Amino acid sequence: MKKSQYLFFFVLLLHACKEPVVKPPVVEIEDIKIDNIEIYGEYAGQIRAYRSVEIHARVEGFLERMAFEEGKKVEVNDPLFYINNQLYKARVEKARAQLLKDEAQAAKAERDVERLRPLYEQNATSRLELDNAEAALNMANASVSMSKADLAQAELQLSYTVVRSPLSGYISERYVDIGTLVGKSNSSLLAMVVQRDTVLVDFKLTALDYLRTQRRNVHLGELDATRSWQPTVTVTLADNTVYSQKGIVDFASPLVDPKSGTFGVRAEISNPDHVLLPGQFTRVTLLLDVMENVMVVPRKAISIERGGAFLFVVRPDSVVEKRFVEIGPEQNNKIVINRGLSSKEKIVVEGYQKLIHGQKVIWQYPQPSVDSSKQESIKK
């Protein structure tokens, strides 16, 4: 073999013996962010009318006619049903006649007293006759008062023959037919009037969620002007769309149901377009708490193992550190860090799968994404 060939193989051998230069891995990092995290709970709820009143007849009689359209809006004091009133008119006339009779007797008794009093003062009549006259006057005045009360009662019962709406709202179908005998004796339910421009949603809160809100000094059912937020609710409709209006929790039961470990909560929601119907079931999302100015990291930066949750922190010398942290609630792929990080540190969000503690890296921030339309314009 020639000398030049030996030299060539010797150079190859020296090159093979050199240790390969390992380039540090490239990772993407992000700064720790400070944000507000909203804590929600989801519950099964039911819609009910803000007010719902049953319409009953207050006097007995045959139903003569109906003065409304079923399912339509009625105003307060609008006439709804008419009950035959002949019997009640007769009672009013009888009570009025009795009042006139008693008033006439009272007027005569008063004249008798006025006539006997000067005679008694002149010793022309006895004290007994004057006392009897004054007693008769008092009895006559009492009879007048009783007759006035009987007349007022008769007129009130006559007014009850016209059944009026106790509130403004929407009336149901009629539950009785024309010609039916209605009244106190059979307690016939005539119809119902509901207010649904505003509705209430009832749901059950777990005892655990209740304790969490109490620890954060959030008292459901009580508006706190010192807070920047209030416990609001949103409802999801049957087609899985979220209703546009939000409600405010205005009541929380002070008692816990021992069977279920829950307690009742109520929210008030505006319903101007009558999208929410009383009686329907819905899914309720309640804003339980807002954690303000907390450290958050992307969900993808967190790894979980037996020792707990950890992530990789990039030190100023570009060396990564495996850091175990205490995590809190998660929202929109962001996780709250309770302990283990400072707000000025940088964390690895991409490329951490094969990293080891103490490894040197080349770090960079994520490149902003450019949509296809902008890329086409750049090419041109």
pLDDT tens for 196-225 read 899 999 999 887 777 777 766 666 766 666
Pick the CATH number of 26-36+293-364 from 2.40.420.20, 1.10.3720.10, 1.20.58.220, 2.60.40.60: 2.40.420.20
Task: Summarize the confidence of residues 125-138 as an average pLDDT.
Answer: 90
378: pLDDT confidence band, cut at 50, 70 and 90?
Answer: very low
Q: Does domain 85-160 have CATH number 1.10.238?
A: no
Residue 37 pLDDT greater than 70, yes or no:
yes
> Residue 28 and residue 352: Cα distance in Å, rounded?
9
Cα–Cα distances in angstroms (integers) from residue 29 to residues 36, 152, 185, 221, 352, in the given order: 21, 86, 80, 43, 10
145: pLDDT confidence band, cut at 50, 70 and 90?
Answer: very high
pLDDT mean across residues, the chain: 85
> Residue 80 and residue 85: Cα distance in Å, rounded?
15
Domain boundaries, the chain: 26-36+293-364, 39-50+194-290, 58-83+163-187, 85-160
Query: Which of 18-22, 86-90, 246-250, 366-370 is the least confident region?
Result: 18-22
Query: Which of 6-10, 37-41, 178-182 is the least confident region?
Result: 6-10
> Residue 78 and residue 357: Cα distance in Å, rounded?
80
Pick the CATH number of 39-50+194-290 from 2.40.30.170, 2.60.120.1570, 3.40.718.10, 3.30.565.10: 2.40.30.170
Task: Summarize the confidence of residues 238-243 as an average pLDDT.
Answer: 90
Residue 10 pLDDT greater than 60, yes or no:
no
pLDDT at 226: 66
Give 144 or 368, the one with higher predicted confidence: 144
pLDDT at 6: 53
Give this prediction's pTM: 0.66
pLDDT tens for 44-57 read 999 999 999 999 99
pLDDT at 75: 93
380: pLDDT confidence band, cut at 50, 70 and 90?
Answer: very low
Task: Summarize the confidence of residues 283-304 as an average pLDDT.
Answer: 89
pLDDT at 371: 54
* 257 contacts 290 by C-beta, under 8 angstroms: no
Residue 13 pLDDT greater than 60, yes or no:
no
> Residue 189 and residue 321: Cα distance in Å, rounded?
75
Query: Which of 93-107, 196-210, 364-378 is the least confident region?
Result: 364-378
pLDDT at 256: 81
Give 242 or 207, the one with higher predicted confidence: 242
pLDDT tens for 318-362 read 999 999 999 988 888 899 999 999 888 999 999 888 888 989 998
pLDDT at 20: 60
Residue 281 pLDDT greater than 50, yes or no:
yes
Percentage helix, strand, coil, to 5, in the chain? 25, 40, 35
% residues pLDDT > 70 (the chain) = 87
Residue 228 pLDDT greater than 70, yes or no:
no
> Residue 282 and residue 266: Cα distance in Å, rounded?
13
> Residue 322 and residue 104: Cα distance in Å, rounded?
107
Q: Which residues contact 136 (CB under 8 A, 6 or more apart)?
A: 109, 112
15: pLDDT confidence band, cut at 50, 70 and 90?
Answer: low
pLDDT at 250: 86
CATH architecture under which domain 58-83+163-187 falls: Beta Barrel (2.40)
Q: Which two tokens stand for residue 111?
A: 């004249």
